[in-house]
């Protein structure tokens, strides 16, 4: 499989980071250098045999209005929960392919408008298994950001601190790509409700050695009528899993026969067929039962009079507690 399947996911991270809210001067970029022919690259794509090394260069730039100090780290490439490549920090130390990237500074200071070349080295261990690996070079602002209001509800409110960060993906192919196994497996499908819409959940697994990206359909029969839904699977890294959520309006019933067919650019299609259980749709009702106490109840399972008794009971208990406290204070005053 061509590594170009990763391009869109990696390119989505190699863009300038921009500050939000009132924070100023917080824009910076991190991109690979262009090819020898002057063609820009959206991510690093390197082929390195086991026991060998390779070198490349990233360009980091300050497009903000003031001097910036940036932290440089190596991120671990992972598969996002619903497919697609993503990156995560490894605060406990590097792991896997993220340990292969060396030579970068841990921090860098850039003046306004300054661009700087960051050369780095990739050293693949001699015992590395033939496969495609993903890691990333991450730049993060060391300037503390101001808290930004995230929302409010009555007297309650929340604020968040925005982390300004950008990652350039580094895809490493160890061995000959043409000799690697490309595979995709689909596990039993489940279902849930999102509001009033049924949703199908398709678990997928990549047991091969290459990045896999696929598309296809899931078709189900309801009252002998076919319902088909498009399925798009973004990049799934070797040895990892994802769950593809597919909104499926029109599905009804408890046991629904369904078939999944997913195909990537090469190799046979990944197939699954079986019965999907759609749970009954119950709306949750939250009621206030006391000072700071709430109870979640399924709708249409408990009559209104029972809910009223629960609330009344909670109020009675609260009143009894208040009376006990008042009586104790009265006795203490009388004894004194």
Asked if 126 contacts 51 with a C-beta cutoff of 8 angstroms, the reply is: yes
What's the pLDDT at 323?
A: 72
> Which among 169, 160, 180 has a CA at the least distance from the CA of 266?
180
What phi and psi values does residue 225 have, to the nearest 5 degrees? Answer: -115, 130
At 131, give phi and psi (nearest 5°).
180, 175
Summarize the chain as % helix, strand, coil (round to 5).
Answer: 15, 50, 40
Decide: helix, strand or coil at residue 26.
Answer: coil
Q: Please list, in sequence order, all residues whose beta carbon lies within 8 angstroms of the beta carbon of residue 177, skipping any fewer than 6 positions away.
A: 1, 3, 47, 132, 210
Tell me which CATH homologous superfamily contains domain 185-277: Immunoglobulins (2.60.40.10)
Superfamily of domain 3-177: Immunoglobulins (2.60.40.10)
The number of angstroms, rounded, from the C-alpha of 269 to the middle of its chain's C-alpha atoms is: 26
CATH 2.60.40.10 positions along the chain are 3-177, 185-277
Q: Check residue 228 and give its pLDDT.
A: 97
Task: Please give the pLDDT value at position 4.
Answer: 39
- What 3-state class would DSSP assign to 317? helix
Structure tokens at 64: 């903000």
Q: What is the pLDDT of residue 7?
A: 38
- pLDDT at residue number 91: 77
Tell me the pTM. 0.75
pLDDT tens for the 336 residues of the chain, in order:
444 334 333 333 333 343 322 233 458 999 999 988 889 999 999 999 999 999 999 999 999 889 999 999 999 999 999 999 999 987 778 899 999 999 999 999 999 999 999 999 999 999 999 999 999 999 999 987 777 777 777 777 777 777 788 999 999 999 999 999 999 999 999 999 998 999 999 999 999 999 999 999 999 999 889 999 999 999 999 999 999 999 999 998 889 999 999 998 877 899 999 999 999 876 555 555 554 455 555 555 556 556 666 766 777 777 777 677 677 766 666 666
- pLDDT for 162: 76
Contact call for residues 1 and 176 (beta carbons, < 8 A): no
pLDDT in tens, 287-333: 555 544 555 555 555 565 566 667 667 777 777 776 776 777 666 66
List of E strands, 206-267: 212-222, 225-236, 241-247, 255-264
Q: What is the pLDDT of residue 48?
A: 97
User: For residues 187 and 175, what is the distance between their CA atoms, to the nearest angstrom?
Assistant: 29
Residue listed under structure tokens 């940036």: 70
Measured CA to CA, the distance from residue 169 to residue 235 in angstroms comes to 13
Contact criterion met (CB below 8 Å) for 29 and 63? yes
């Amino acid at each position: 499989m061509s590594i170009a399947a990763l391009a869109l996911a990696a390119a989505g991270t190699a863009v300038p980071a921009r500050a939000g809210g009132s924070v100023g001067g917080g824009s910076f970029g991190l991109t690979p250098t262009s090819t020898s022919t002057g063609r820009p690259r959206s991510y690093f794509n390197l082929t390195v045999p086991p026991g060998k090394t390779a070198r490349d260069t990233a360009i980091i730039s300050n497009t903000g209005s003031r001097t910036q100090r940036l932290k440089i780290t190596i991120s671990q490439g992972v598969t996002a929960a619903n497919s697609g490549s993503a990156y995560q920090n490894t605060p406990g130390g590097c792991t896997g392919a993220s340990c292969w990237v060396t030579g970068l500074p841990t921090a860098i200071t850039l003046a306004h408008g300054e661009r700087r070349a960051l050369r780095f080295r990739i050293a693949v261990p001699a015992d590395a298994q033939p496969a495609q690996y993903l890691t990333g070079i991450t730049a993060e602002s060391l300037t503390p950001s101001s808290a930004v209001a995230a929302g409010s509800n009555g007297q309650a409110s929340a604020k968040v601190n925005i982390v300004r960060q950008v990652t350039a993906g580094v895809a490493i192919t160890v061995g000959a790509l043409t000799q690697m196994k490309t595979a995709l497996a689909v596990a039993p499908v489940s279902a849930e409700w999102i509001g009033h819409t049924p949703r199908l959940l398709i678990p997928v697994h990549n047991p091969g050695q290459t990045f896999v990206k696929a598309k296809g359909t899931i078709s189900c029969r309801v009252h002998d009528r076919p319902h088909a839904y498009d399925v798009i699977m973004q990049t799934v890294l070797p040895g990892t899993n994802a769950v593809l959520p597919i909104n499926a309006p029109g599905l009804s019933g408890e046991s629904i026969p369904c078939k999944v067919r997913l195909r990537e650019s090469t190799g046979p299609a990944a197939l699954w067929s079986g019965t999907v259980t759609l749970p009954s749709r119950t709306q949750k009702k939250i009621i206030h039962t006391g000072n700071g106490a709430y109870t979640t109840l399924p709708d249409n399972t408990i009559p209104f009079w029972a809910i009223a008794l629960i609330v009344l009971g909670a109020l009675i208990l609260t009143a009894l507690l208040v009376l006990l406290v008042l009586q104790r204070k009265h006795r203490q005053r009388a004894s004194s």
